[in-house]
Structure 1
Amino acid sequence: MGNGCQAAVLAGGAGIDADTFRSAMRQLAGGICAITVGRGDERTGLTSTSVSSLSAEPPALVFCINKTASSWPILQARRAFAVNVLPAGHRSVADRFSGRNGVKGLDRYEGARWSELVTGTPVLLDALAVLDCEVEDLIERFGSAVVIGRVVAARVRGEDAEPEALTYWRGAYSVIRR
């Protein structure tokens, strides 16, 4: 292929290898969200770029979680979570919730201001948007789970909100400006 593209196909129609798949998926830019789960001392969470709208009537969304994630058992037990859409100034929150530098559990909440909405799950006070959800369904496949959440409360920052969103593209943070 003379246009700078790479092609990789495994023999016998088995699809592509994992490294090629990861490389292809890194071309898909995604908004960064801190998914919060748990209450009190069991609070934890994760960083996700896989949040997507499922339905407006009723309001529902989906995201994916690896079943080896520390947040998985808490999500299964509590059956509630919040999606916190991160503004550009919250790279440190994204890093903590991704577990960078070994940060786990309650320590992921340090350095930011939190409150609660309907489910009691922590929500980031200065997120661009917050969607407070109850788990509608968990679909387990390939070592991960697709989480379907019914949105029970939401908060969206107004025009005074930071005009830049934090995104992830090609393995690094990027910023989208208004």
Structure 2
Amino acid sequence: MSDRRLRHADSAAFRNAMRALSSGVAIVACGEDEARAGCTAISLTSLSLAPPTLIVCLARSSSTLARLREASAFSISLLAARHQALAHRFSGHSGVHGARRFDLGRWVTLSTGAPVLADAIAAFDCLVEEIIERHSHAIILGAVVSLKEGADEPVLLRRRGEYAALV
């Protein structure tokens, strides 16, 4: 059906409906030393196994996205249930900004130099393959150049604005 009279659904209703979806929680990070930036992300998925490629979506207003453009590399650290305080710290609601967010947790690097949470359930080190800007967000395609698998433990989820553990 192609009817130009159809319009987008109400944004507030759409947001509320999407909050019903349980999503894994990750930290997207980039940069080095005092130029590090990072944020909590729940909009991510694998795109391809060959070659290994991830997709993550960040708000176009995100300071992490601005830094990621400069760095051309980033990491995605998948969080365990015990990382809830870290997820909040990187969410933008904690009042902590920039490189100070990395004062919590132990951070290491893999191939690209992007910060990776040392005890993440899994971590992916990526080169920026493409950034696609659509509406309020940017879709970042990341070519996975290295990864680290962590312990098999309960994962951190987010649903309806609340954190929960999945065993």
Provide the residue aligned with 1:146 in structure 2.
139
> What is the alpha-carbon distance in structure 2 between the residues aligned to residue 99 and residue 134 of structure 1?
24
CA shift at 1:14, angstroms?
1.6
Q: Which consecutive segments of 4 or more residues in structure 1 shift more than 3 A?
A: none
Q: Does 1:35 align with 2:28?
A: yes
> What is the alpha-carbon distance in structure 2 between the residues aligned to residue 47 and residue 13 of structure 1?
34
CA shift at 1:13, angstroms?
2.5
8 Å CA contact retained: 1:34, 1:97: yes
TM-score normalised to the size of structure 2?
A: 0.94
Deviation digits for residues 38-86 of structure 1, max 9, x if unmatched?
1111101110011100000000010101111111111111111000000
**How much identity, in percent, do the aligned residues show?**
39
**Count, aligned residues:** 163
Q: Which residue of 42, 51, 58 maps to 1:58? A: 51
Provide the residue aligned with 1:170 in structure 2.
160
Provide the residue aligned with 1:72 in structure 2.
65
Q: Which residue of 16, 35, 48 maps to 1:23? A: 16
Find the residue that maps to 1:163 and give its secondary structure: coil
> What is the alpha-carbon distance in structure 2 between the residues aligned to residue 75 and residue 15 of structure 1?
30
RMSD: 1.0
8 Å CA contact retained: 2:29, 2:36: yes
> Structure 2: where are the runs of 5+ without partners?
none
> Structure 1: where are the runs of 5+ without partners?
1-11
> What is the alpha-carbon distance in structure 2 between the residues aligned to residue 163 and residue 68 of structure 1?
33
Find the residue that maps to 2:132 and give its secondary structure: strand
Deviation digits for residues 109-140 of structure 1, max 9, x if unmatched?
11200110000011111000000000000001
8 Å CA contact retained: 1:36, 1:122: yes
Larger Rg: 1
Q: Does 1:83 align with 2:73?
A: no
> What is the alpha-carbon distance in structure 1 between the residues aligned to residue 144 and residue 92 of structure 2?
26
8 Å CA contact retained: 1:87, 1:162: no
